[in-house]
Structure 1
Amino acid sequence: MPEAGFDAPPRAFVRTLLRRGTPAEPLEPDDDEGDLTAVGDATLARAARYWVVVPLAYRIAAFIKVFIGFTAANGSLGLGPVLAATVFAVAANSAAAVWLLRTGGLRARSTGRALALDLAVGVALNFAVAATAPAAVQPFAVDVSWTWLVGTVAMWAGTSGVPSALWLFAAALPLRSALTLAGGLPLDHQLALTRSVGCMVALAVAIVLAAGILILLGVGTRFALDIGLRRGREAERRRTRRIMHDSVLQTLEALAISAPGDDAQAVARLKELRSIAKAEAGELRRKITEPVESGSTRGFAVELADVATEMTRDGLRTQLVAADFADDDKLSQDRRTAMCEAVREALRNTVKHSGTKQVVLRVEERDGGIAVVARDQGQGFDVRDRPPGFGISQSIKARLAEVGGHGTVDSQPGRGTRVTLWVPS
């Protein structure tokens, strides 16, 4: 359904849905190609697998309703065939609905066969009721079995488009006449004519309702995917900004620091900066080339130790305290990564702003999650007078919030700084 993609105007998209129904096969699009049309069709197809559950549920409820109406109006006359048809329809549709929900919906390769079988069962059921019901109540009895075909028309409208359902509507005219003759009634029988009109109206209503549901399903999927894509792009922008802030910007700031005047010290400083730049380049390459879902077999405490070791090149001595922490892979990879990156940013802030080269890093289980507390005895600052910069607001707080956690910064002038990071386990 290429013309129904996300670049097509809304009216064209709706017309295609009504003409062809939902996409037949949810092929997985190539993420690298960014084909929004394929993404939209695949998403819609997954939702459409369960489309036929709606007509099945309608049949279950409608058969019970029309059966009650039939018995209230006609008593026990013709009760046998109508009761048998109702019991069969409710059982068959209930079993089909359960099967669809358990197996993941109707697949493309079986759609045609399933619709054809459903139509054949509906026609056979109507002829069985029409031929066995007493002539006096035959039109009312056919009203009950006709409920199956109402659901059939709705199925065809959703999976194959409204034109297919209209062809069935046209074929239902001679079928309804044949059912009248099967019951031994003339075509001009007044009651048969009246009930036939009612049956055709029911089919028309089913087509209209199916079209409405189809539009809601398609347009709703389209809007939901559009929102998801926008949020995904925004998340990717935030990730890129964090990478630039946490790696490239840090290196550039280090390079901007004036070298000492002594030649030996200048050479040593240059060597140190080259080492920093090389390490940051390797880290940046790893971040932009690693798979989206990457796992780690190492413990969380070991990863924190790696972060602390990395900061030693900036002269920061970190004491890691994890004696009371049982590292048994309680955190998901996303939360482990977010926590380590937030810890790295907190330690960098210590190096740049605290005036001290020592920090205590404690990891513990707390409040149903994992907490890491970075505490230094540096010069501190007044958190009320200094608004949080990008590092605190984005690299720490926003990053943890994305995985369900939070971060807080407590500091007072002359009394050091405590950064508390927490994520649920």
Structure 2
Amino acid sequence: MKIVKVSGDVSIKRSVDSGTADQRAAVQKIIADVRASGDAAVKAYTEKFDRVLLSSFQVERSEVDEAYKQVSDQMVEVIREAAENIWSYHEKQQRPSWMTTEDNGTILGQKVTPLDSAGVYVPGGTAAYPSSVLMNVIPAKVAGVKRIVMVSPPSSDGKLPAGVLVAADIAGVEEIYKIGGAQAVAALAYGTESIQSVDKITGPGNIYVALAKREVFGDVDIDMIAGPSEIAVLADETAKADEVAADLLSQAEHDVRASSVLVTTSPTLAEAVQSEVAAQLSVLPRKEIAGRSIEDFGAIYLAKDLDEAVEVVNQLAPEHLEIVTGNAMGLLGKIRHAGAIFIGRYSSEPVGDYFAGPNHVLPTNGTARFSSPLSVEDFQKKSSIIVYSEEAIREHGAKIAEFARLEGLEAHARAVETRLKKF
């Protein structure tokens, strides 16, 4: 990792991948095929990309029961406890419907309604992600979504990872399909003979999944287009170099395009972390992935003071931010842009990934400047309530008609005035 002194605006190299023309064309074809041919297209693409021929997409109860036999009782209890923590945190995000009444009889309000259905994409590939199941399903459950569908690409034996199925069962998912990629997104968005469409699709995936979500947005809602993982550690001389290095590598091992950044006021810490990253990387099981990430997207920024360091963090708007300084809580109010903020040396980023309770589906690629973590509100919609009384329309009707005519909308004005004429 290179050490760079802060000078003016910080420009970090990010991996923003909108796909190649060929990838976009491939995704569009897959979606069109699924819309036209339904199950047959999904089956064909599953055989092509996942190398498995399925007679049925849906996971049977017997497969879930078998999964419990493959996961230790201790691990099942850990997943249950994590689910309870996530539920407890998200339950506090609930917002009720409300109405207010004015003296003239006007009633205004907002009705909060859960979505009818949601689809959760759980990635497969080189790792299994039970945590993604919990983080996507539980907010939907808390919001009151009645139908939650989970999709995930099968392995070559036609099965899903045992931990993923156990997490889905603990979270309360009753409808699970062994399909992945753009074809799964298309099936969720438009439906097939055996899979009913949903109203919203959430969850991370590879570039083809991301492009497919982008293509179907508008016909259904999506959570976000997630980029590679990011972490920024804001630290001073009180931080421990081995701990900071370990946290940086925790994100680097996700993806060769992941970004791991240290922002510090201490030259001594900067050099120590630089050495520690190299040492720890050499014995990391996923060292090839993490090494490329650190080489291409890692950095150490040396700031003159904490104010400058904080401003660097706000420019980066990282997905994950750790604050490891002498007065870490005191800096919280100065942070404007970050997806999740971890305060103090014991609040390592994986604490949030798996167990603490806040959602780990977070804005990436600097979008923390204007967006937020996945939450209960993402699975709800709001309707405005307007009740005007006779007294209210008498009082305000002429003003409303005048406003309508300002915009050249005569019919709008007359719609109000036809009532005024009867008084």
TM-score in same-fold range (> 0.5): no
User: If the length of structure 1 is used for normalisation, what is the TM-score?
Assistant: 0.20
Q: State the TM-score, normalized to the length of structure 2.
A: 0.20
1 or 2, which has the higher strand percentage? Answer: 2
Structure having greater relative contact order (Cα 8 Å, sep ≥ 6): 2
Structure 1 or 2, whichever has the larger Rg, is 1
